[in-house]
A and B are shown apart, each in its own frame.
Chain A
């Protein structure tokens, strides 16, 4: 897509979301569920960075999401910090988690990487479930949403204020994500996905690139988790479970892996779709599962990816099409064995 068209559509989407509090009631949607869409979209972006662009099956991102949530909740509960600090501390928690796990995850690629990330995620899940005195265990942690700002100048964060904060953070994350994937660093990640051996032969240390990607993903998922905890005023162990990771992956695939706006589209469909369907019928899980199956079989490029493929003619040369790798008929890529 040409740069100017992209800028205009992007601005239009942001403007649409900015009018959220007025539009949402018109379609019988609660503003806080749209907040949830924005928050989850950030976590889905983290999966997108690893899976969509770098080609690493990231099935353990819920661990960082949960660490972010608990980091925020614990700091609010025991240290009485305010909104911004809570988000920062949550992100820091998740980053530390990423730092701890990255050396282990780096040693493998492909499905082994995926299974390792599930395994580590489960270890964190068990810890959260057990540690009852500090974290409340399976009862979870109830917190009161703190003020936003400094002691001298602050305001209480009600649902609409939260929405705009979430929107601002999302836009910031989106811009950051976009510039990451379009930078030489980002292009190297795509190159790693296509053929890591070749990248190494070119003299680049692919491990270092993946390490940074892992940390970035951990940070993003951490921000998302911290915001989520502040949204629902609660932190609980299920946030760390591998099923949660699976839902992030589903959202990414739905929206379009390897695209910049895919995570938002996917999160929107997943969060709001699940909410609507679960209100209509208790059989929503059948629909969700069927959606998963249909998506993997028929639309692996996701909504935005499929649309982009249709308008491929208008793609400017040099544009990054990371989504093409998800085409059902894409040539198989050479696996790298470290």
Chain B
């Protein structure tokens, strides 16, 4: 491919100028001077793209509902979305971009705890509110907490303590753990050890699966020898799908009960029905009175609207997104201000009802949303006519009983209000 020198230089010069100048001509879609912008940072690419989409759908519904009522303080609300690419460095840069360029009033989002932590840091440095919708690591409301950071989804401690006692009561106290060998897995492992310690249970096997394990066979072959009452699966996401699939192929799902701190609909959809089994913690569910609250019209409307608009029923992720934005905008409206400290005080402490069972509140001491968790049994094939109806919700666990006490949290978390 030979180009005449002059034409090449002109082309290259023009191309470069255009490329460098593009940002100048790139308007933000729908930019209007008086809209209230909220920055949403989610991993739209990478392994968590599925949950990210669902969280965004939840955010969207809350946005539409508020705009229909006239917005906040008379201004229409707008969501400015950025892809954090499941990378904390990118997340931090996008957060800064949203703050400096788009002049957002607050930040929300993320699925990955590491990104939550880095965005939380950027928000803290800029004195901006950040509500973590989907990152579960204890650190977000623990050692790395800040006055401006709140968290909607449950913490890993809540997950283990919601399910631990229930599972032990149902199946017995000899547990075999399959633990992902990094911080998140160890946090779950520590949580369960705490529960077992209190009830005198034993861990008959604890397989630490390193990062990147796609094949669990080497760990699964040890289970028969250990003779557990229950197999606890702590791996999440794609690893969860792999693990359960292989457990089924090894015939383990027929032999032993299986359970764990949390499961979501998204990974279950990646499994054939014969590999779906067990008792798990669920953070919300679209089709149970226990999770939605009996007669909770707001919840039922949310489910109906979500199903209609997105073609499938909402998952816990949708719930996180909705509740997060709804509470943020409520706080802004109540505080009649966009000052972060005022918004923070407006969010914390006050009890509210939403699309789930029972009132809840963002705890003043660590900014964790205190709402119940539930235990569900898997219905492998759903119910006739509804292939998504995979959870048979059996128990509810109130928040206060499953999260660390205020005293314990205050030891590690110093909010540091200015």
A residues at B contact (CB < 8 Å): 26-33, 36, 126, 129-130, 132, 136-140, 142-143, 145, 159, 228, 232-234, 236, 238-239, 269, 272-273, 275-276, 278-280, 282, 284-285, 298, 303, 306-307, 310
Contacts and interface: CB of A to CB of B under 8 A. Distances in A.
29 contacts: A27-B24, A28-B24, A28-B26, A29-B101, A30-B101, A33-B96, A33-B97, A126-B211, A129-B211, A136-B139, A137-B184, A140-B114, A140-B118, A142-B120, A145-B125, A159-B96, A233-B118, A234-B88, A234-B117, A234-B118, A236-B118, A238-B89, A272-B23, A275-B93, A275-B97, A276-B22, A279-B97, A284-B83, A303-B16
Interface stretch (B4-12, B241-249, B336-344): B4-12
Contacts of B210: 126, 130
A143 to B, nearest CB: 8
B139 A139 contact: yes
B373 to A, nearest CB: 22
A232 B118 contact: yes
A280 B80 CA distance: 11
B183 A137 contact: yes
Interface in B179-198: 181-184, 186
A273 B89 contact: no
A232 B8 CA distance: 39
Given A129-B211, A132-B186, A272-B23, 5 more contacts: A30-B101, A129-B182, A137-B186, A138-B113, A234-B117
B96 A27 contact: no
Nearest to B83: A278
B88 A140 contact: yes
A156 to B, nearest CB: 11
Contacts of B120: 142
B96 A282 contact: no
Interface in B80-102: 82-83, 85, 87-90, 92-93, 96-97, 100-101
B182 A273 contact: no
B137 interface: yes
Given A32-B96, A126-B211, A282-B45, A234 B82 contact: no
Contacts of A132: 182-183, 186
A232 B125 contact: no
B96 A310 contact: no
B97 A30 contact: yes
Interface majority SS (helix, strand, loop, mixed), chain A: helix
A30 B104 CA distance: 14
B200 interface: no
B155 to A, nearest CB: 13
Interface in B217-247: none
B93 A140 contact: no
B311 interface: no
Nearest to A271: B93
B82 to A, nearest CB: 6
Contact of B117 (A32, A140, A282): A140
B57 to A, nearest CB: 14
Given A276-B26, A284-B83, A142 B117 contact: yes
Contacts of B16: 303
A142 B83 contact: no
A307 B12 contact: yes
Contacts of B22: 276
Nearest to B146: A142
B122 interface: yes
B45 A284 contact: yes
B93 A278 contact: no
Interface string B14-57: 00100111111010000000000000000011000100000000
Given A139-B114, A139-B139, A232 B92 contact: yes
A233 B137 CA distance: 19
